[in-house]
Structure 1
């Protein structure tokens, strides 16, 4: 699940010093994910909720993907890295998809165990697996970011590219994963942390101006944005023709939103505290928050209590609830309880010898799973 820094195979394990900037970014990003999911049921009955939703979705999923790309390995995947893809991504996906299938069945639905159709938030695990496998090949190309952008735009024209194995989101959001990897190659973190306070605040004022302008545009044009179905573009989950965009220029809207998201990701990182904060330590638990928050929000989403027009206080209450959920699921006790299914130690799953064309070699014991997650 890389959302974690991969270790280099064959070298002794050395615990890396965590950078507060990135732990802060991780926790804020995942909290925005929870907020977006929490307020979804309000957007049809409230313009304010729809404005907040569009504001969050303009950058929060691209940001989450970019942070994952920042910590991804771009070199050839060795045996140890392949083991981790199975234990950190495939195993939790199978477990949680099975749980969601059983839950729907217990609530009166049909029992349909279909691992090709990810339940709710689980699409991210499938996409993350694909991005991790694709990255070593993409970085061999001369212009990996440009090529990933072209892939994303082109995939939107093909209606057969749908949610099966999260293919639409995998290809649609691919540029942000590559963008995150490029941020690491550009060594921007070191440059940013080395800047003096005066220059830092100049950049932060520019970032605040960008976010303020975005909020102003959304607020002043909320009806037009509903009509244009901008929400569907921001989800990257459907081809353009499936929500009424058969025109050739539809890809231009995705490109524009993508470029905006790149700028917003940078602006967000400029605003993230560079030093340790009260929530810095919570940044190591984002996969727990991601996989578990949907169970806490499920009763609110499915009970119908949030349907229709709601009092004005409901939106801020849900945003506050999202923060509390994010804090709750970051607690050490939650990590201890759910580590067996989120960071499993399944050494029994792998054979101790790896076959080669000259025979077999004995594999070194795997290190215990790291908690360093984005």
Structure 2
């Protein structure tokens, strides 16, 4: 199963509605976060919602990917999937974005080391999936990943090149997602009787409600403290004037809070099949394509400056609509060559041995 829920035409194990529901809601929150970005400078209510969403939605997205990641030595099929599911889409969409910026009057600069907008996630996912089998050989992979994340924030030379800052900064959430599967929490949760489920969900709602209230009451302070930049994990602490030794403690607090919010988020996700469960199989399409629909609003200046109060809810409704439309079968059918390129012509018909000879599948042997 692909980390982002793609590859719907390939043989699949039985899908759990819980995870498809979680995928679709998480990616829809990603769209909302991008859609309201231009509003946060002028409106505290938009900034409050933005900080609230960013406290958990990217960690959730990363954790879901980690949950389905394989930690054993990769076989030939898994290595091929890394290319077709991650590397090829990255190269395709980075090239498209370069061409689009050039057509709109920018300089033609094809630089695959600097990911355009949301494409950072593909590079990070590639590195996480490659690194996981090595990381889990160690005794305390989650603790080590937290130390790596905190330590990376002190090194100014770790920046956006090959999205390394975000890759290391968000690494704990990928490992946390993998640990959730090792702890068998999904099985325990799905088997829990309804009465206990609603008790846990009440606690989860209390956590989210308390967080939103806390942000609302302290929005000006949070704006001055530049908390938003801690939630992006894409630069060193010193870059935004947090050069003190204790800056890593803030990242640690943000990480631990996000762990709790990930679990609370999953508790609130419907365990049964819903109207959007099927849409959860198309999250890669939503993730890669929604930016093209939001780009005009983001770049034309139509959302710059103070906006009427109805604009924020309108952008939320628009985001949900975009997420639904990009999940439709017709969109997936048309865009599949770009989002899920098979590129069979690039691959050998069989796996290569260490000596370089090709071992054909049994059915191809004479």
1:134-172 deviation line (CA, Å, top 9, x unaligned): 000001010000000000000000000000000000000
Tell me the equivalent position of 2:67.
70
Give the paired residue count.
360
1:300-340 deviation line (CA, Å, top 9, x unaligned): 00010000110110001100110000000000001000111
**Native 8 Å contact 2:27 2:283 kept in 1:** yes
Q: In structure 2, do the counterparts of structure 1 residues 194 and 156 end up closer, same or farther at CA, with 3 Å as the change threshold?
A: same
**Native 8 Å contact 2:5 2:282 kept in 1:** no
User: What does 1:347-366 correspond to in 2, within 5 Å?
Assistant: 347-358=344-355, 360-364=357-361
Verify: 1:79 aligned to 2:79, yes or no: no
Tell me the equivalent position of 2:250.
253
Verify: 1:153 aligned to 2:123, yes or no: no
Tell me the equivalent position of 2:190.
193
Tell me the equivalent position of 2:37.
40
Tell me the equivalent position of 1:372.
none
Partner residue of 1:119 out of 116, 121, 127? 116
5+ residue gaps, structure 2, are none
Q: Structure 1 residue 6: deviation in Å?
A: 11
Q: In structure 2, do the counterparts of structure 1 residues 335 and 316 end up closer, same or farther at CA, with 3 Å as the change threshold?
A: same
Q: SS of 2:59's equivalent?
A: helix
**Native 8 Å contact 2:289 2:326 kept in 1:** yes
The TM-score, its normalising length taken from structure 2, stands at 0.96
Q: SS of 1:245's equivalent?
A: coil
User: What does 1:305-324 correspond to in 2, within 5 Å?
Assistant: 305-324=302-321
1:113-139 deviation line (CA, Å, top 9, x unaligned): 000000000000000000000000001
**Native 8 Å contact 1:6 1:71 kept in 2:** no
Q: Structure 1 residue 242: deviation in Å?
A: 0.5
Q: Distance in 1 between matches of 2:183 and 2:224?
A: 39
Q: SS of 2:357's equivalent?
A: strand
Tell me the equivalent position of 1:90.
87
Q: In structure 2, do the counterparts of structure 1 residues 362 and 178 end up closer, same or farther at CA, with 3 Å as the change threshold?
A: same
Q: Structure 1 residue 358: deviation in Å?
A: 4.8
Q: Distance in 2 between matches of 1:6 and 1:110?
A: 33
Output the aligned Cα RMSD: 1.6
1:221-275 deviation line (CA, Å, top 9, x unaligned): 0010011100000000000001111000000000000000000000000000000
Partner residue of 2:160 out of 155, 159, 163? 163
Tell me the equivalent position of 2:3.
3
